[in-house]
Structure formats: structure tokens, C-alpha cells
A and B are shown apart, each in its own frame.
Chain A
């Protein structure tokens, strides 16, 4: 009997030791946590701002300045042309079609309707030792109060906005000819702070770190999204299918305009064969 009581006492002690460990699990570790998280998840979020930034005057490195000195503006981003090559983060999630958030313990996913891509944000984890390059980056997130902080690294050849051309991009809607785009360095890192401003307004504050481009971290303007409710809050499929209507010339960085009568002939010929 004594032996049984001793074993029971040891088991109780172990259980008590385990309790604080369980309580210390960070937010986003269990299904029950969904009730404690800010409601990013109901319906979807539509950007209310320019998909390009009105950048502040973040000083460029000598390397970036040399690139900018020979920069030739583009008329549109490749996303608007045949093939719809994604611009990657952050531009792809700033375009006009909505974002849809999902949760499971240890992960938040964001369906980006533009291009039907999905970001997977690992909660409370660590970056890989050698993340493979991707257009959305490898994202690790955690909650600081009601703010989701997301740290992303491991980027492919994304369309990175360095800034705007002198005197351009001052209005509320910045377009590709206003901006300077360029290559990123090997240690490009993006940190987002995502929070609800009110129940129907979401803010994503982005800071970009790339010491080959800027002498200081690039702090973007907060991107504001409004919640679409009801039917508008339902996500849609998005498959690029503009090859028949548009011709994009990468050497000119723009979509070539054809006579609509010729485009129509091509489309009707395709329909008939």
C-alpha cells in the first residue's frame, strides 16, 4: 500500500510539474486558441490602398544607387502580361483581390486570391537552416498580444520596390512607371505586424531589411484592408488566362498594344478550330 501511495505521489508531482509547461504553450498552439486569437478568419480582406508603396526617403547603398542611376522605368509589372508571373511578396498580397486567413494549431495560412497562391505561416517555430527560395518566402509567426508578427526570409526573384522615381509616386495610387524595382540581396528579410484596427479593418505594417539596397530598414506605409462580408467574403479561384488577349514584351517591360480587331480575329479563329 505504501508503495502504491508513493507511486501516486510521484505521479501527482510529475503532473503538477507538467501543468505550467502546458500553460506556457504560446498562442496559436492548440485548437482552443482559435477563440483567443483576433478574428482574422471570418470572410476576407480587400486592400484599400495602392499595391505599390509611397516610400519614405530611405537612403540607398552605393550598390543600389549605381543600379538606380541606370534604371529604366517599366510600364507595367509582368503579372499583368501573359503567364502572369507573380511579383511575390509583398506586392502579390497588396493587389486588389482579397486575402483569406485560415488557422490550424501551429499554422496560419493566407489564401491570396490574386494568382490563387497560399502563404503558410508557421507559428512559434524557427526558420530552416537553408530555406529554399520562394516567391512568398519562408514565414515564421508569433503573437505579441493581438498582433501577429511574421518574419519571412528565403526569397526568389521577387519584384522588389526600392522606392519611387524622383518626383513620382506622390499621389495615393502609385503605378509601375512611378517606381524603381531592382534585385534583392541574399539576406532579404521582411517583418510584418498584422493586427485589427477595428473589427472590419486589418493593418499590415511591413519593414524590409536588405543591406545591399538600403542603409536603414525600409519601413513601408501600413497597408489597410477592409473586411468583405457575406457573398463578397467568399474566396474565388484565380487562374491566369490572358495569353490570348495580351502580349508582354520583357525587353520593353510593357504590354504591347495590338489593334483590338486583330485580337478579336485571333480569339474567334481559336474558337472555330
Chain B
């Protein structure tokens, strides 16, 4: 984990991915607004630079290293999910990122 930007309208998680061949990629992962993340159990202090995390992401169709953050498994094993950047569960909305590069503002 490189940086966790706790911000509105959306928070961003920047991670450095080490690939099998040893090369690295920096990914920017868009999450929800701070209030909605807090309601889902997230905290600004959940992650700090250097933490190893596992991120579940809906990547952009463009191939850019940008995606919607669906959930994160922290180094402690704790999983944060539920609604980060996604529309409410019963809207019938398309999967995050399916219709636009950006998630619906929350």
C-alpha cells in the first residue's frame, strides 16, 4: 500500500503491485465517500504506507491502471467491503464501472 486518500467525493487507494516477473505497477483504486465508507466500517487509519493488502477491483475497460475498489483484505486479515464506490445494493444498477469510468457519486 502506497497511499490511502480519505476524501470526498471519493476516497482513493494507491497500491504498488509486484507482478510475477518482478515488474511493478502503480494502481489507483477509487472508493466511496468518507461518510459512506465510515458507515460500512472503514476508517481513515485502516491502512498505512508499506502495508500489504489484497484488493478486489473492477478494472477500467481502457486498460489504465485504475479501478473501482470493491473490498480490501488488510494485513491483519480483516476484510473491508460493502458498498465502497458501488451503488446501493438494491438499485438494479450495473456492476461498478460497467457503464462509466467513474462510479456514481455518493
Contact = CB atoms under 8 A, between A and B. Distances in A.
Interface string A216-232: 00000000000010011
A190 interface: no
B8 interface: yes
A173 B87 contact: yes
B65 A259 contact: yes
Given A96-B87, A264-B2, A255 B102 contact: yes
Main secondary structure of the interface of A (DSSP, over half): loop
Given A46-B88, A84-B8, A236-B38, A172 B93 contact: yes
Interface residues of A, number: 46
Contacts of B87: 96, 173
Contacts, number: 126
Interface string A254-273: 01010111011001100000
A55 B35 CA distance: 29
Interface of B: 2-3, 5, 7-10, 12, 14, 25-28, 33-36, 38-39, 62, 64-66, 87-88, 90-94, 99-102, 104-106
Interface of A: 46-51, 75-77, 79-80, 84, 95-98, 113-114, 171-173, 175-177, 228, 231-232, 235-242, 244-245, 255, 257, 259-261, 263-264, 267-268
